[in-house]
Amino acid sequence: MKIITIVGARPQFVKAAVVSRALSKVSDIEELIVHTGQHHDANMSDVFFDEMEIPKPTFNLGIHGLGHGAMTGQMLEGLEAIYRDQKPDRVLVYGDTNSTLAGALAAAKMHIPVAHVEAGLRSFNMKMPEEINRILTDRISDLLFCPTQTAIDNLSKEGYPFAENKVILSGDVMQDAAMYYAQTSAAKSTIIEKLKLRDFVLCTLHRAENTDDLSRLKSIIDSLSEIHNAIPVVLPLHPRTQKIVKEAGFHLPFTVIDPVGYFDMIEMLKHCSLVMTDSGGLQKEAFFFSKHCITLRDETEWVELVQGGFNKLAGADFSKILLSFDEMRNKKSDFSVNLYGGGKSSEKIVNELH
């Protein structure tokens, strides 16, 4: 059996790594990895693949830095040629990027079965390109691997499973990854000693809805500045957002650092007191490492974290963020509840694929 896995962003490589590790234990499955190039990441050097124990891509399309239409169109063209040449039995896609949609759509047009990992997630915000990608990818996939019961419920409300779909509660492969890499992250990261971090809030900020809206961005920065007076705030910030902040003349009195690698992020999650983020992945990773989270968005795909009291939606509202901080800072919760499969998701996925 030949499987082609499509990835285009660093988080997808991390997710694919744990599933690839499980696939490699099955003797009659051959996996080829295609990197679309969507997120051109200078940190994804040979060292990245070696340290993360990730198989290097067989193909790299090198498509990045384009608008949605051009990017998705070029990916469709490139992937179609690879599928035609390699004749896979199945295509495996992850998440909700343009690479996800292109990988699934090119396969569906060629009548190649598609498996979607992280199916059924919904923010119910159609202004997000990710929401469009995930809805369309789900509809043309035959195997829908849902990380949570909420995701299954979302699909059920939309009429799934149709005759051509199978919906599976697989758990979340990101928990598999977090548990696996947490064993070695301390030996591979020096960020805690380097920044002399002790009691601190870990914050990330990258969503266009926040960074491209200066009123939202200023409100978030003002709230982080206020929180920084009570506890140090550390913010790994993408150069693009740093540029926006500089051009707007916003003052950041807290600790701003360049984006960090996965091992550094795990160590920061282990040692921080609280997480504040607009990232979907980091909301879950906070939970994996028993940390409460304040989400700087108006909605989240991970509603079970909000329902369980592990996560608080604050949006970009100054007062709401500060109230959420006061509520979550010293909150006690039972993080032992199994929301995401307990690190067995990759095995479940491979069993269904085989």
Q: Which residues have a catalytic role annotated?
A: 206
Which residue, chain included where needed, has tokens 């509840």?
A: 337
**CA 56 and chain centroid, separation:** 20
Smallest CA-to-CA distance from 210 within 219, 202, 201 is with: 219
**CA 54 and chain centroid, separation:** 17
**Cβ–Cβ < 8 Å for 26, 350:** yes
Strand, helix or coil for residue 90: strand
Tokens (6 digits) for 266: 């795990």
Q: How far apart are the first and last CA of the chain?
A: 8
**Cβ–Cβ < 8 Å for 221, 256:** no
One-character DSSP codes across 207-248: -HHHHS-HHHHHHHHHHHHHHHTTS-EEEE--HHHHHHHHHH
In whole angstroms, give the CA distance from residue 77 to residue 106: 8
Burial of 334 (0-12, 13-18, 19+ CB in 10 A): exposed
3-state secondary structure 173-218: HHHHHHHHHCCCHHHHCCHHHHCCCCCCEEEECCCHHHHCCHHHHH
User: Which residues fall within 8 angstroms of residue 332, CB to CB, at 6 or more apart?
Assistant: none
In whole angstroms, give the CA distance from residue 307 to residue 316: 20
In whole angstroms, give the CA distance from residue 203 to residue 282: 10
DSSP state of 110: T
Tokens (6 digits) for 174: 């990101």
Tokens (6 digits) for 271: 């040692």
